[in-house]
């Protein structure tokens, strides 16, 4: 399965972190997203370990566990690891594929380069983060 550019843009546009981005900005983000094929049983992240990558699921499923408890199952259209694009923080959960997975993969390094060349993207991401935090802020 090969994910076309317009499908990448559509998937990325559904991610809350990127919801304020224009179509052109989404296309730039999609341009650094690399399609990967992952086997069943692949550990994408381990809780409390450092991380620097982010995945958008195109096909397949993955199990998310925090403190050894099942948190949720990720499916097509879901994503994991978005905080790693912005922060050097430990993973909050372990994510393991439960079937073969097709995903879009972005790294913090690639995303940092994109933010340097397209500062509007960073501005829009900060806006999206602020809007997500604002309802819970005191």
Taking only the tens place, the pLDDT of each residue in 33-77 is 999 999 999 999 999 998 889 899 999 999 999 999 999 999 998
pTM, two decimals, is: 0.82
CA–CA separation, 96 and 42 (whole Å): 6
Lowest mean pLDDT, pick from 48-52, 89-93, 117-121? 117-121
Average pLDDT of the chain is 87
- Mean pLDDT, rounded, for 96-113: 92
Go through the domains of the chain in sequence order and give each one's CATH number: 5-136 (2.60.120.10)
Distance of CA 92 to the CA centre of its chain: 14
Per-position DSSP letters for 18-40, written without gaps between them:
GTT--HHHHHHHHHTPEEEEE-T
CA–CA separation, 43 and 65 (whole Å): 11
pLDDT at 129 over 80: no
Nearest to 93 by CA among 114, 107, 79: 79
Query: Which of helix, strand or coil describes residue 5?
Result: helix
């Amino acid at each position: 399965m090969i994910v076309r550019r317009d499908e990448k843009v559509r998937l990325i546009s559904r991610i809350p972190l990127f919801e304020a981005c224009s179509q052109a900005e989404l296309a730039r983000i999609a341009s650094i997203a690399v399609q990967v094929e992952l086997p069943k049983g692949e550990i994408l992240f381990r809780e409390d370990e450092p991380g620097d990558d982010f995945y958008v699921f195109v096909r397949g499923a993955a199990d998310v566990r925090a403190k050894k408890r099942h948190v949720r199952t990720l499916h097509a259209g879901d994503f994991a690891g978005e905080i790693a694009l912005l922060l050097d923080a430990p993973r909050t959960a372990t994510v393991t594929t439960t079937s073969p997975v097709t995903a879009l993969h972005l790294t913090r390094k690639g995303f940092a380069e994109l933010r340097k060349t397209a500062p509007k993207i960073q501005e829009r991401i900060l806006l999206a983060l602020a809007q997500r935090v604002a309802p819970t802020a005191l």
